[in-house]
Structure 1
Amino acid sequence: MIRHTVAFRLVHPEGSPEEQAFLTEGPALLRAIPGVEDFVVSRQVGAKSTLRFQFAMTFADQAAYDAYDAHPDHRRFVETRWAGEVAEFAELDLVPYP
């Protein structure tokens, strides 16, 4: 199992229609890609990070994650939305500790 997480800050003003669109349209598209399980959108409430949101999802195994990463819908989202709308991010891919 792989838990893929990306914490990020958008270029859009807080509470703007553009922010709302990114946070609803992105997950709708990404959730529909085969292999994506347990997709969650979270909002940062602490003051220790400037990264305001997180997308997190689970994949059964490395093959499922690789298929997602290469999927045309994921690639298109990264190129057309993520690259221009995300100001800063941190990505983690985690597996259970034995």
Structure 2
Amino acid sequence: MIRHIVTFTLAEPSPEKRAEQAAFISSQLRSLVGVIPEIISLEVVVDVEKTPGNAHVALISDYADQAALARYQVHPDHVRVSSSIKPFFAGRAAIDFEV
């Protein structure tokens, strides 16, 4: 199984607006569950903002193998969601590893 973790740093300086954006991002990413069959599990977490420099949102998802992750990444619904949330990001980092 492959675990895919992506962290997102939001560009918005206002904590209130960042919270709104994080909720939207979480909602959009969670909407993919049940739509993209390759997703075994998907969780979105929001940082408690206690440590300066932390990412604001993280996606943690599992796939059967690299091929399933690759299909997820090009799935039209993933592409649509990615496009809708990308404007909020100042930075993104990812790691994929075997579980």
Q: Which shifted more, 4-13 or 59-68? A: 59-68
1:88 alignment partner in structure 2: 91
> Is 1:68 aligned with 2:72?
yes
Structure 1 position 91, deviation (Å): 0.8
Say how many residue pairs are matched: 93
Find runs of 4+ consecutive structure 1 residues off by over 6 angstroms: none
> How many percent identity over aligned positions?
28
Give TM-score, length-normalised by structure 2. 0.72
After superposition, give the CA deviation of every residue in 1:44-73 in whole Å (9 maximum; x if it has no partner). 6545x4433322111122232122111112
1:10 is aligned to 10
The answer as to 2:22 corresponding to 1:23 is yes
Identify unmatched segments of 5+ residues in structure 2.
Answer: none
**TM-score, normalized by length of structure 1?**
0.72
